[in-house]
Amino acid sequence: MSGFAENGFAERIEWVRSAAAQPAPELNVLVQHVVVEETPRKAAEKLASRFTRLTRDLALESPFLLLGPPQHLVETLEARRERWDVNYIVIFERALRDCAPVVARLAAN
C-alpha cells in the first residue's frame, strides 16, 4: 500500500509535475473515505478495523483519507493544499453530509 501512503503520493505528484508542460497542471485527489469522529486516531482505528491491509498509522498519514472532527478536516485540507498544491478535492457522494460543515468552513476562510 505504499502508493496509499504520504510518501507514495508525494512521489507521484513529483512525477506529474516533472513531466507536465508549463504552466503547472492543476491537481486533484479522490478521497476514498471520510470518517468523522472526535479524534483522528479514533477515526483511523475505526477505518483500519474494516480493511485488513490498512493500519491505523497508514490511515492517519494517507492523503486519500479524511479522519477526525470537522475542524481537523479543515486544517488537514489546508495543510495538504499548502504542501502539495492540490487544487481540487473529490469525495464520494456517501461523504457529502459529513463534508458539508467542512466545505462551509473552508468557504468562510
Per-residue pLDDT reduced to its tens digit, 53-99:
999 999 999 999 999 999 999 999 999 999 999 989 999 999 999 99
Instruction: Work out whether the CA dihedral 55, 58, 64, 65 comes out positive or negative.
Output: positive
Residue 17, amino acid: R
Alpha helices in 1-109 (DSSP H): 6-19, 40-48, 56-61, 70-84, 96-108
| Confidence band of 2 (pLDDT split at 50, 70, 90) | low
pLDDT in tens, 42-51: 999 999 999 9
Which residue's entry shows cell 488537514?
Answer: 76
Cell reading at 17: 509535475
The reported pLDDT for the residue numbered 77 is 95
pTM of the model: 0.90
Residues of the domain holding 54: 2-108
Q: How many domains does the chain have?
A: 1
